Structure 1
């Protein structure tokens, strides 16, 4: 049997990995006074010394990973995610062997080899972050080589525009900016006791008064709660029209999520998946009936190649997929999927009072919502449609 070769695509020549600090893909790496690091409930809040700031326990320790994949004709695809220097090591010393010399259209085979070659020390977390960065850079390269946006490679847009909810400290301002809803960080967890619970509900009540009865309000609990506290929070929040309670429990506690979903008031949604990875992790969430909406981050769950599988699995279970943040990497996906009817926009302005590009300063040409919406035509440039800011001090620690 003669093996047919793809025609017209140059092979991959080089894979390079860099790290860079200061915002961008590692969006928690912000300066003092940013809402994203202001006394937000976390699993580490049980320790008083780590309660005020997430940076105090190292949420920004890794920094951004930048992956470049260069084809033989000089075309470069790239992507950014979290992972920093440890992920650079994985990309250059382990994963690159599965790409260099290969056809960029073989993304399924490349993903399979990256995942199963690292399974003995990977499966989730940092290793899958690195795989995600490589996979996204590969899709960017493929789009550029074919002269098509990634959403066209995924089957094309199913709607003319994206609509967004905003995650930040000021849902009332988000409403004025045209977003369909606002998700607030939870500020107090179990360590704050009943007084902290009252403060959470008071903050929600105040925001409901500001935005009126019909605007969506959600709470992002960032893995900080147990089933009992999350249940009490959900019951108390119900009178203030809470649309959903997000990532309330440790991502490993599938049984806790299943219990919470049974416990919350009828009509309130349970959402999670931001820190889940691969089709197998999301299969657990689906088959154990843990949530109503899956929220994979395309830069952490395994990349675009894996997100497509996660989405298909969710669709078969009648569940929505609304990816966590991730800027253009999720926009190109959401615009192509019927079970992804809206998208998240992370308000990266320190006071949540302006719409600014999420991955600034690392991406050039990053589109942002206008009046809470983004036209599909804003995503029509080849690849993911953005360029890398090469004025940043990028470091390549494991150059080959």
Structure 2
């Protein structure tokens, strides 16, 4: 096809005619919104663990109050692209009442200009958090729509696969079972923070030691600290976990805004132990801070929170130029299509959303239909060979549309 022909094909793409934002409760993209007895809500260390009344359950302080955001974009030919992330009703309002003006009548091929307008129009009240979740949801829906209009998987539009399959580590309470299921490593939630003192530290090390004994020396073990530690505690935990249990990495140990603390932790960590963070960071500017200040060995953006695929491209390119590994936070197909195209993303995260977790189940169920799951810790690239992100929205779930942009 000639250059002029390609330009004309892009110009002739159907335009976005309708923007709809829904919220839904229970699991899925808001994976913390689980029932009683789920491992993900069982005495996990958080910044709120300093308060005894909020220590046992993360839901007690409201980790699940938002629910899932579903963004649906319908083109004027009836084709629908969609995406799910977190944000719930507040994000619905932002999408319907603010961001929709940059979408209706536009071609999804204009994703760069649309992203720029969404970000800078909300900068005075946004930049991170729920606003970036909303922007991310819209951006992912744009890529899904564009892929469906072009009849291409998103990963083809991102340059194609650089390997034949994805390999995964598992996040959950049972790394020993994850090893039996074929995963390359297991990431545990840290259960006890600084407020629980030396006794809590000993319990953390004891759990890790038990898992090391069950998994053997050749299996990766990691600790997810979920922003719960201070520099002193994180440093002591890092050294003990490395020396006594061979910990592979310590993740998101400090507040995401404490770049200086992360830089100090990376310098103080034992050689060989990786410092990782970025799950709750957003945009190229936030990740530039992490990398320029040498805060970590691996960045972990969540494509549903950091700005979507359009922004993740920029983050990943900067990481590649700095020689920094990027392993996105678990976000199902939305990260799979990206990781398969990147040499500096050699493996991916899989969140074990079974309550046990004693079996592999779809990560964003019940909201996504056709979601691939690892078999023996792997997903073949060919399993992503469906248009867009390759999944469909489950129309049987209780979607609520609290606002309208009409």
Q: TM-score, normalised by structure 1?
A: 0.99
Q: What is residue 196 of structure 1 aligned with on the other side? A: 200
Matched, 1:353 2:384: no
Per the TM alignment, residue 52 of structure 1 is displaced from its structure 2 partner at its CA by 0.2
What is the 5 A alignment of 1:196-215?
Answer: 196-215=200-219
Instruction: Name segments (4+ residues, structure 1) moved above 2 Å.
Output: 4-8
Q: 1:128 aligns with which of 129, 132, 137?
A: 132
Return the alpha-carbon distance in structure 1 between the equivalents of residues 280 and 246 of structure 2: 26
Matched, 1:165 2:169: yes
Return the alpha-carbon distance in structure 1 between the equivalents of residues 350 and 148 of structure 2: 25
Q: What is residue 323 of structure 1 aligned with on the other side? A: 328
Q: What is residue 279 of structure 2 aligned with on the other side? A: 274
Q: 1:42 aligns with which of 43, 46, 58?
A: 46
Q: What is residue 140 of structure 1 aligned with on the other side? A: 144
Q: 1:377 aligns with which of 375, 378, 382?
A: 382
Matched, 1:246 2:213: no
Q: 2:23 aligns with which of 8, 13, 19?
A: 19
Per the TM alignment, residue 7 of structure 1 is displaced from its structure 2 partner at its CA by 3.5
Q: What is residue 122 of structure 2 aligned with on the other side? A: 118
Return the alpha-carbon distance in structure 1 between the equivalents of residues 230 and 118 of structure 2: 35
Return the alpha-carbon distance in structure 2 between the equivalents of residues 336 and 251 of structure 1: 27
Between 1:4-13 and 1:291-300, the stretch displaced more is 4-13
Matched, 1:97 2:101: yes
Q: What is residue 338 of structure 2 aligned with on the other side? A: 333
Find the residue that maps to 2:82 and give its secondary structure: strand
Q: What is residue 64 of structure 2 aligned with on the other side? A: 60
Q: What is residue 184 of structure 1 aligned with on the other side? A: 188
What is the 5 A alignment of 1:246-325?
Answer: 246-325=251-330
Return the alpha-carbon distance in structure 2 between the equivalents of residues 385 and 229 of structure 1: 43
Find the residue that maps to 1:132 and give its secondary structure: helix
Per the TM alignment, residue 8 of structure 1 is displaced from its structure 2 partner at its CA by 3.5
Per the TM alignment, residue 286 of structure 1 is displaced from its structure 2 partner at its CA by 0.3
Q: TM-score, normalised by structure 2?
A: 0.97
Taking only aligned residues, the RMSD between alpha carbons, in angstroms, comes to 0.9
Per the TM alignment, residue 352 of structure 1 is displaced from its structure 2 partner at its CA by 1.2
Find the residue that maps to 1:245 and give its secondary structure: strand
Find the residue that maps to 1:242 and give its secondary structure: coil
Return the alpha-carbon distance in structure 2 between the equivalents of residues 8 and 173 of structure 1: 51
